[in-house]
Amino acid sequence: MSLHQEIRRRVEAAVVAALGPEHAQGESLLQPSRDPRFGDFQCNAALPAAKALGSKPRDLALKIVEKLDLAGLCAAPEIAGPGFVNLRIEDRALASALMATHGDPRCGVAPRSAPQRVVVDYSSPNLAKDLHVGTFRTTVIGDSIARTLEFLGHTVLRQNHYGDWGTNFGTLVAVLKREFGPDLAALERLDLPQIEALYTQGSSLRKDDPAFARDAAEEALKLQQGEPSSRAAWRRLMDVTLANCAEIYQRLDVTMKPEHDRPESSYNADLSVVLDDLQRLGLLTTSEGAKVVFVDGFVNREGEPLPAIVQKADGGYNYTTTDLAAMRHRVRNLRADRIVIVTDRGQSLHFEMMAAVARKAGWLPESTVFTHVGYGVIQREIEEDGKKKKVRFKTRAGGTVKIRELLAEGVERCEKIALEKNAELAPSERTEIALRLTVAGLKYTDLKQRPDTDYVFDWDQMLAVQGDTGVYLLYAYVRIRSVFEKAGADAASKVLLGELRFTHPAERELALHLAKCEDVFSEYERELAATPLCRYAYDLATLFNRFYHDCPILKAEEEGVRAARLELSYLAAERLRLVLGLLGIRTVERM
């Protein structure tokens, strides 16, 4: 248990004993102090309780203090104002709590005592295309969720539910057959740009040419039935685009690997089973030729019941059918306690309805938590008729922005930044660092706000060396490492570099923040948003920089002070690296 949690536990016990359990809840129980002069924490429970108990808040505060046992943790509590109880952690307690985590790669964060099996379905791009910004957010957000839950001790089952099935793929196979005839060998030379061109060609043919549209529908069916020539052509498309995904994942430094592939096509055989089961359960209705399920609470704009379509009038299955099959699989075979799916928030209704059908059908038991993390849009600011406007992030020509191009542009920009900072880096190292800075800039910008908000894409802001950016954080880390280098200290030392002591407020403030690391995670688990992790890392970097500015480390007069400051720096670096790692951001040792 962290220092703060221990304090919280004891404050809670005191308030329960003094005022009763109903008054030991909510924000007033324990809060960080606004002003460090009044201590580190405040317990304000006496104020809201006063009315209900018909007493003066100050009297209640006195009662709380009487019951409060914080020996060895805090100095004697002080009552202030109308009835605040101010608490100040003892320096010795703070120092030893931190020093106890030296050399612990978890920085003192204990794994959860009741770990869960959590499916995280993320990235899941539609294939036969290059990865574009639309996939960027799910990939980055989902990867951070997977990493963090895993760190907390949960068993994370990553699922790449990529789109490789249905009408679009029938269309592609039909174009391939039309262009290349029966010559499957020609497909061997097919590359991604060609596939993308064929995709565009296919989509317009399907609109304009009824004969082609029939071929395309037939190919989709043949794929479902496993017809060899159709499957072979489709396989080739998949191989090319999957190899491309793997390359981008690697450059983006995400943990999604081929063993996590569980594409739509893999549920092909289960789709008819889903329908049979729904039929057997009496949940299936026919509406305008389609097979649908009605679930309570979903209505369209006219207030009429909204059906979940599970089989189209032409007999084809759809996105919902596949998701129901996936739900069944995840609960039955993967034994998930929790299922998290990350997509754009435009799909919220789909997931709400799908989950409601799954609950009704018994595929998603009450004991399994389902969370759809719906994220907002990446935008670009443009000027139109002299007015600034936010629009969806597209290329100048109006096309989708590819992740590959984003990375290339970022690297080019960051190489310049790196060159300015350090002209002596070898070109290969510079490129590697530039990629890390780019990835840090892109991911941090995305993760620092709540997923459901939109944001404007802006390179200059994202890669700024000062401010709340990934680049700023990496610089702070490098700064700490350079202190070690200059000190000739072993940054991987398993033994303490020095006994912590606090001789300057900036040291203590930093230490207090470092001791709070554990607390970020309870907020995280509730919301599954990386925002608190980002805030923690940013505050850490800022507090470190202030400490670095105010307190000489290597030039400290006294040997003990120098050693203590080195130790504090070490503890800061470890936490910064840990948290950045959970965001999917890899630190660099120098720049």
**Residue nearer to ligand ARG on the CB measure, 351 or 544:** 351
Per-residue tokens: 396: 């100048």
Using the structure block, give the residue that is written with the tokens 């020095």.
Answer: 498
- Interacting residue ranges for ligand ARG, rule: CB under 6 A: 121, 124-126, 161, 163, 323, 326, 341, 343
**Residue nearer to ligand ARG on the CB measure, 126 or 445:** 126
- For residues 476 and 470, the answer to whether their CB atoms sit within 8 Å is no
**Residue nearer to ligand ARG on the CB measure, 89 or 341:** 341
Q: How far is the CB of 351 from ligand ARG (least distance, A)?
A: 8
Per-residue tokens: 558: 């006294």
d(CA 591, CA 170): 50
**Residue nearer to ligand ARG on the CB measure, 23 or 328:** 328
**Residue nearer to ligand ARG on the CB measure, 159 or 438:** 159
Q: How far is the CB of 363 from ligand ARG (least distance, A)?
A: 14
Q: How far is the CB of 149 from ligand ARG (least distance, A)?
A: 17
**Residue nearer to ligand ARG on the CB measure, 163 or 441:** 163
Non-local CB neighbours of 60 within 8 Å, separated by 6+ positions? 18, 19, 45, 46, 49, 50, 53, 83
Parallel, antiparallel, or unpaired: how do β-strands 155-159 and 378-384 relate?
A: unpaired
Q: How far is the CB of 165 from ligand ARG (least distance, A)?
A: 10
φ and ψ of 86, to 5 deg: -95, 135
| Identity of the amino acid at 121 | D
The DSSP symbol for 74 reads B
Gyration radius (Cα) of the chain, Å? 29
Q: How far is the CB of 172 from ligand ARG (least distance, A)?
A: 15
Q: How far is the CB of 264 from ligand ARG (least distance, A)?
A: 8
Among residues 204, 228, 103, 106, the alpha carbon closest in space to that of 494 is found at: 103
**Residue nearer to ligand ARG on the CB measure, 230 or 343:** 343
Q: How far is the CB of 493 from ligand ARG (least distance, A)?
A: 45
Q: 503 vs 94, 480, 556, 561, 566, CA distance in Å?
A: 13, 20, 11, 8, 14
φ and ψ of 448, to 5 deg: -75, -25
Q: What are the residues facing 146 on neighbouring strands? A: none
